[in-house]
Amino acid sequence: MMSDKPGKPAPRRERFNPNALRWDGDNLEPSLERLFRFTVGKAESSIRWYDAKSRPKKRWAQTLRVTAILATALGGILPILSQMPLAEKASVLFNPAWASVAIAVAATALGLDRFFGFSSAWMRFMTTQMHIQSKLEAFQYNWMQERAAWGATPPGFEQAQAMIVNCANFAAEVSKLVEDETQAWVSEFQNVLRRLDETGKAQIAATATGAIVAKVDNGANCADGWRLTVAGKSPQHHRGESGVVSDVFPGSYKVTVSGEIDGRPVQAETMVQVPPGGIVEVPLTLA
């Protein structure tokens, strides 16, 4: 364990140089030990990395998931509470609109979890860490078994070659686990970006503005023209038999036309549904 006391330097980790290993008779055993420590150290370093990185992922995943659960539950309870008026004031306890806010909070929490990949990363990190730990323990037991086979005699060249192969195979297995986890992260991130792009395009298409074309068959009879009013839009003055209101978002609108024919006020109105990016013609007759 590193000391926290000032002035006491941390112990320096021995740098491993495979080219410095010597494989002649007297150096076989110490070289194998150095190779073993290096191979185990790399695996343990990967385990520590995944353990350290999984902790904040776990905290965020649990926080966002609990938030989503509580907000969803609150969204289901609020409409019921809104039907329970206070006896003294005869008013509701809660506005039912808060249920929509709670559901939106739950959806946002889940969306953040999916975008940043907290839950999936936590599970990937734990799984990879456990797999590396399992393979490390198997490798260590196998190494001890090989060492026991030496007895009191130093290892021979064939034994040394077999143990070097074991180290190489174990290191390759650890690297493959890390590579698979990284590839899973890349694939997940690409899928998230693709879904976000598709969602963004769908939202743009769903909110594309359209237009309302009012066709007033007796509009020409209004000597001073007629007024076209669409809910949420400024009134427009038109002459003739048609008028257009552009930049209308999708939804239901009340369309009203009014004017004077032979000094008599006339009016017509109707409800229209404007689809995303659609142009709606509205036939009207002033009366």
What's the CA gap between 240 and 259, in Å, rounded? 12
- HEC string of the chain equals CCCCCCCCCCCCCCCCCHHHCCCCHHHHHHHHHHHHHHHHHHHHHHHHHHHHHHHHHHHHHHHHHHHHHHHHHHHHHHHHHCCCECCCCCCECCCCHHHHHHHHHHHHHHHHHHHHCHHHHHHHHHHHHHHHHHHHHHHHHHHHHHHHHHCCCCCCHHHHHHHHHHHHHHHHHHHHHHHHHHHHHHHHHHHHHHHHHHHHHHHHHHCCCEEEEEEECCHHHCCCCEEEEECCCCCEEECCCEEEEEEECCEEEEEEEEEEECCEEEEEEEEEEECCCCEEEEEECCC
* Residue labelled with tokens 């020409």: 220
Cα 267 to chain centroid, rounded? 52
Rg (CA), the chain: 37
> According to the model, what pLDDT value does residue 2 have?
37
pLDDT along the chain (287 residues), means of 10: 39 59 78 90 94 94 93 85 60 68 90 90 94 96 88 79 92 95 91 82 81 92 92 89 91 91 92 91 92
Residue type, 260: E
> According to the model, what pLDDT value does residue 3 have?
38
> According to the model, what pLDDT value does residue 41 have?
93
What's the CA gap between 198 and 109, in Å, rounded? 20
Residues found in the chain: 287
What's the CA gap between 257 and 245, in Å, rounded? 12
> According to the model, what pLDDT value does residue 226 have?
94
If 0-12 CB within 10 Å is exposed, 13-18 middle and 19+ buried, where does residue 68 land? buried
Contact 216, 244 (CB under 8 A): no
By DSSP bridging, strand 251-261 and strand 264-274 are antiparallel
* Residue labelled with tokens 């064939």: 158
> According to the model, what pLDDT value does residue 93 have?
59
Residue type, 80: I
> According to the model, what pLDDT value does residue 284 have?
93
> According to the model, what pLDDT value does residue 18 have?
67
Contacts of 82 (CB under 8 A, 6+ apart): 92, 93, 94, 95, 96, 99
Contacts of 231 (CB under 8 A, 6+ apart): 253, 254, 255
